[in-house]
A and B are shown apart, each in its own frame.
Chain A
Amino acid sequence: MYVADSRSSKAPVAPTPSTGGSARRGAAARAVPGAVLALGAVSMVTDISSEMVNAVLPLYLLTGLGLSPLGFGLLDGIQNGFSALVRLVGGHLADRRGRDGAARHKAVAVVGYGLSALCRPLLLFVHTVPLIGAVIAVDRTGKGLRTAPRDAMISLATEPAHRGRAFGVHRAMDTAGALLGPLTAFLVLRLAGGPLLADGGERHGYDAVFTVSACVAALGVLILLLFVPNRQDGDEPSATAPSLRASLHLLRLPGLRRLTLCAVLLGLTTVSDSFLYLLIQRRLGLSVSLFPLLPLGTAAAFLLLAVPLGTLADRIGRRRLFLLGHGVLLAAYGLLLSPLRGLPAVIGVLVLHGAFYAATDGVLAAAAADAVPAEQRGAGLALVGTGQALARFACSLLFGALWSAVGGSVALAWSAGALALCVGGAAVVLRPSETVATDAIEESS
């Protein structure tokens, strides 16, 4: 009854070390599918567009609109929580069938990317804080809608044995866009004339950034429409669409239930980036002038390691690498808490932090795809992703409160202890022998 994947008869669903090597079946199979490259290009271009805006928006609010640096963090958290819930809706809607029997992943993704793209030119016309907040909310809604169908398409377009690498390629392209965005924004501001950013109430430099960002976003939607197939190879036409009840009952699948449980547990002990950067600055004696560069360090490591670690996931098992990735995060916490100081320690923490993302972000989606049947792929991936995102949001609130109570370093030490416990617990829940056995039974039934 439970067919984990349409190709489960041809290729192993849960790769094991023994099949990892023999899974090479010629250049065509090894190549990353065109649909994945196209989706990677869409993500890259869209991230350039959104990061352009994100890079200048705080300064625009500060110097252009005269806002005070108060209370943005919580608003940001609430909107991210909302976006995580929208992801569930996007995943469910994407699994519904069109007249041809194909899933609507691409249609929902187009709506999601399109909504965000429409927000960019709107920034040219709204100049009050509540309206800008509304535009940002619509942008986040678009992001929430598109995430699950996009990952579902990546998983359906790729041979199960190569999904880790495919997601790695996608995440690398995505991160490259995130790195290029702020540079592009800076270039536009430079071409538009120097010191506009800093002072003086000139809006034209920002308007140029918003306009270029809108053009780039439109290009992203166009690439999606033109170069991503309407139906992925792994998506078998089906007359019956999964009902809402079926989506809600996804957690009855043992593999998905265990994976979601682990993603939530580990998400609850994943300290958010901004807290981590603050602790790096405080504990490792980092000069304040280098502080804005910290996220770039994480992103660079993520970018470089996403493909190799994704490939490694295909060889040693995605769940195993997902767990190992959290071990790497634990090592980052340990290094941060150690007596080591100075730039080498900072670089070490950032490399470990980027490796953590490379070993867990796309890898979790690949692991989740193993556990969900093709016709419910969107909703299944959304479930795992939403669980993780909400857990991380809860962790942020807890960590902030803990920081106030016992200080940042002690709070991190507690988080490290909790993370170690959760990694241990998750290792038990995701025991390879048991999961392989269960999956095998489910496949044969």
Chain B
Amino acid sequence: MNLRNRTRVIVLLVAVLLLGAVGTGAVLHAADRTARRDQAQPGGPAVTSGAVSLQAPDSGRQLLFRNMAWGPHRDEITTVPADRPDGPRTASGVQCLRFHAAAGTGICLQAQHGALEDTYRAVVLDDHLRELRAFPAAGIPTRSRVSPSGHLVAWTVFVSGDSYAGSDFSTRASIVDVRDWNLRENLEDFAVILDGHPYQAHDVNIWGVTFADDNTFYATLASAGKTHLVRGDLAARTLTTLHDNVECPSLSPDGTRIAYKKRVPGLPADSPWRLYVLDLGTMTETATAEQRNIDDQALWSGTGTLLYALPGDYGADLWTVPADGTGAAQLVTRAAVAPAYLG
């Protein structure tokens, strides 16, 4: 090896050391920021361990959600009295990224940290938040719902390809019946009827299931750059389009209206959605008073009000707004996401 080659190797080694130091610094900085999330923040909500049940309480309503406040109970499912949502939280010890519950059944979408990659699973919980059964999920959890009867459970995850599959990504929506564990792993297998005609395409994506009863559900179907509200029939295995430009539908308790994200023309690409309500009888759309971009499957907190998450200092905060377009958005509680009401 002559001097010139040696010089090259030395230059390379010095560069490796310098670049390695920069990279290590960046990782350590991020790790330091992360570690802070395990420390409770002054002024944050009080969170204590306690028993959490998914049965309707004897008196008063309960609001459950994933606690995002920094501290030892971060990401755990916590409960608060519905009339004091900003009060002390009771933490269940069960960590979920997404959660919903009804009639003693819960769905919890979890991450499992493996040696080479993170995997995800959809866990069906009994009324004591014990695992009944778990299903592997193909990617990052996004939406989850339990039917009003507690018999059906649905979840949606994002499936992201790496470079070989291109930078496109898609969704997978699954439904399972907790009575016989009959799993419909991919709702894209259902027959699609678009504007009255059978339809097939490679780019069909389904997300955001909401249940009407133990056979009928609503969801978003996307294909060819458009989104549609579909009504699903579990027994017939069909999806029928009802309305355009509907994402993440949420059926009202009386089954007459759908709250949803509407992609409003003219808004910036970073914040394209507003919260709307669709009357299923007249197919008329009503804009809610919430003027900010919404990226959540809203929850009906009664027959006339909606609960939804917006980005906040600790990830997300819960807000409420009337469903009829009146009033104004109000903060419900900070550092919370994925809510469900019991009772």
| Interface residues, chain A, with chain B CB atoms under 8 Å away | 50-51, 54-55, 57-59, 62-63, 65-74, 76-77, 128-130, 136, 178, 181-183, 186, 188, 190-202, 204-205, 207-208, 211-212, 215-216, 218-219, 222-223, 226-227, 272-275, 277-278, 282, 287-292, 294-295, 298-299, 399-400, 403-404, 407-408
Contact = CB atoms under 8 A, between A and B. Distances in A.
Contacts of A407: 200
A200 B315 contact: yes
Given A54-B163, A69-B222, A408-B202, A194 B23 contact: no
Closest 3 pairs (CB-CB, A-B): A193-B34, A295-B164, A289-B136
Given A288-B137, A295-B161, 17 more contacts: A58-B169, A62-B160, A68-B272, A69-B169, A193-B30, A195-B75, A198-B111, A200-B315, A204-B29, A204-B33, A207-B26, A211-B23, A212-B23, A223-B12, A272-B166, A277-B161, A404-B199
Given A51-B163, A291-B138, A72 B168 contact: yes
B162 interface: yes
Interface in B112-141: 113, 116-119, 136-141
A194 B34 contact: yes
A57 B16 CA distance: 25
A294 B159 CA distance: 12
B20 A289 contact: no
Contacts of A292: 138-139, 159-162
Contact of A226 (B12, B138, B200): B12
A130 B270 CA distance: 9
Contact of A404 (B137, B140, B200): B200
Contacts of A274: 161, 165-166, 168
B316 A201 contact: yes
A191 B23 CA distance: 12
A178 B68 CA distance: 35
A186 B116 contact: yes
Contacts of A212: 23, 26-27
Contacts of A178: 163-164
A208 B29 contact: yes
Interface string B255-294: 0000000010000011111000000000000000000010
- Which size class do B's interface residues fall under? 35 or more
B203 A204 contact: no
Contact of B315 (A51, A181, A190, A201): A201
Contact of A191 (B27, B139, B160): B27
A59 B22 contact: no
Contacts of A195: 75, 97, 111, 113
B19 interface: yes
A162 B119 CA distance: 43
A261 to B, nearest CB: 27
Interface in B138-195: 138-141, 158-172, 174, 185-186, 189
Taking each of B37, B189, B227, B337, which has the highest tally of chain A beta carbons within 10 Å of its own beta carbon? B37
A194 B113 contact: yes
Contacts, number: 216
B1 interface: no
Nearest to B165: A274
A177 to B, nearest CB: 11
Nearest to A188: B27
B185 A69 contact: no
Given A205-B30, A205-B34, A292-B138, A186 B118 contact: yes
A332 B197 CA distance: 33
A198 B141 contact: yes
Given A226-B8, A287-B185, A292-B138, A192 B119 contact: no
A278 B244 CA distance: 26
B205 A211 contact: no
Contacts of A408: 200, 202
A299 B270 contact: no
B160 to A, nearest CB: 4
Nearest to B296: A66
A46 to B, nearest CB: 12
B76 interface: no
Taking each of A51, A193, A403, which has the highest tally of chain B beta carbons within 10 Å of its own beta carbon? A193
Given A70-B222, A198-B97, A287-B185, A192 B161 contact: no
A51 B161 CA distance: 11
A199 B118 CA distance: 13
Contact of A59 (B111, B136, B140, B314): B140
Interface in B195-227: 199-203, 205, 207, 222, 224-225, 227
Nearest to B164: A295
Nearest to B7: A226
B50 to A, nearest CB: 23
A198 B118 contact: yes
B165 A273 contact: yes
Nearest to A298: B164
A207 B170 contact: no
A229 to B, nearest CB: 12
B199 to A, nearest CB: 8
B68 A200 contact: yes
A222 B12 contact: yes
A207 B19 contact: no
Contacts of B26: 207-208, 211-212
Nearest to A175: B164
B203 A73 contact: yes
7 contacts: A58-B167, A69-B158, A136-B167, A204-B29, A278-B202, A287-B136, A403-B201
B146 to A, nearest CB: 20
A74 B223 CA distance: 12
B11 interface: yes
Contacts of B141: 198
Contacts of A298: 164
A273 B165 CA distance: 6
Given A54-B163, A200-B68, A128 B31 contact: no
B293 to A, nearest CB: 7
Taking each of B111, B160, B171, which has the highest tally of chain A beta carbons within 10 Å of its own beta carbon? B160
